[in-house]
Amino acid sequence: MDNFAHLIYGYEKKVETCRGKKRYINFDNAASTPPFKSVMQTITEAAAWYSSVHRGAGFKSKYSTERYESARRIIAQFIGADLERDVVIFTKNTTDSINKLSHYLPWLPGEMIIFTKVEHHSNELPWQNHNHYCVPLKNNGLDLENLEEVLRKNAGKVKLVAVSGASNVSGYLPPIYSIAEMAHAYGAKILVDGAQLIPHRPIVNPPWDDPRHLDFIAFSGHKIYAPFGSGVLIGPRSLFEKGCPSQVGGGTVKGIGPQGIIWNPPPENEEAGSPNVLGAIAIAEACQTITAIGWPALIAHEKRLIRYALKQLAQIPELTVYNAQDQERVGVISFNIQDRYHRDVAEYLSAHYGIGVRSGCFCARRYVAELLSLDYREINLEKPPGMVRMSFGCYNSPEEIDIAVEGLHELVDTIKKAA
């Protein structure tokens, strides 16, 4: 099995546990990945030459501007964006990207937004104040027949179909290219929330004239081994030329005169203030590192981890896995242990084994409630239900899974003895 741990900055760090110091095992990659060493090295080198971008005449300013714009080109190539027609906008993160896109809804034809029941809140809440529809689940996936029926009945009236590229709860991979084709057939655009997809699978955007083309793509650096507070929004340049930018300030204005404000063209008009230059450079370097490793090796490694983890977890009868299939998914596994609150399980693994997992609803309450057979509108906010989530990065190993499973077995035995 491939081992990419040597690529990760801070991999050998130890943490205090009730059993002494242990090397930290990070199974919380769906929240944030650690940085690649290559990213840290690139940031250190670029920081020595850091300066303002675009408007400075000094050498450092010109250097930083070139690195910043080069990052835009690298990311476009990584995604398959056509810079003749698409624009790569640097944002704070995926949430910021999607909110930025929501500002431009008035310039998209139609009147309805469609999102799905597997969405993270970042791809649900921005649409709540608009005429919207939520696609239900069917057979552990999205009900695509329902989606097509809604699109057909509202042909020409749907502005946008917003869908996650991969679920941060179950690892489920919605068929984004099929959904794109379906949306376009009925006159709608598609937005892919790529936050969970970007570190696990290539997002190869088909050409503009291909019905499977992805109109908008959003993702975060901190999901792709570049955790420095930067994100990306990719979409058609022509849309971001409409009206007033979503935020205004330095860098957004070409001129102000008697005729009013003349805005800069995109992407400058959507990057108000001094941008996160080092964050953009970090994302580009992470993209290049992933390209150097190669997607076939990364995907094969992750599939082996998923298969192994599901097999080992199945040996614990008291443990319920939500979406136990090992095909067509990314490395996100959510579960619960009978008679134990999800937060307590996460705390036990951390305190005794130095393992980091996530617990709760993962900012996806509709989906979690569905999987738990609950009404999300009637959840007890004092002690909300949820799950425990293990999520893999490219550097995790079967040996780390063994340690986590050992801890879960031990916890179950403790529960039995206390009963």
Active site residues: 363
Quick one: how far is CA 109 from the chain centroid? 27
Q: Tell me the C-alpha to C-alpha distance, in Å, between residue 60 and each of 46, 68, 197, 295.
A: 10, 12, 35, 35
Considering only the C-alpha atoms of the chain, give the largest distance between any 2 of them, rounded to a whole number of Å.
80
Q: How many Å apart are CA 169 and CA 32, to the nearest integer?
A: 14
Helix (H) or strand (E) holding 176, with range, is: helix 176-185
- Per-position DSSP letters for 347-411, written without gaps between them: HHHHHHH-EE-EEE-TT-HHHHHHHTT--GGG--SSS---EEEEE--TT--HHHHHHHHHHHHHH
3 state SS of 15:
strand
Give the span between the Cα atoms of 337 and 409, in whole angstroms. 10
Contact 235, 215 (CB under 8 A): yes
Strand pairing category for 14-17 and 20-23: antiparallel
**Four-point Cα dihedral 118, 121, 126, 131, nearest 10:** 40
The CA-based angle 68-69-72, given to 5 degrees, is 95
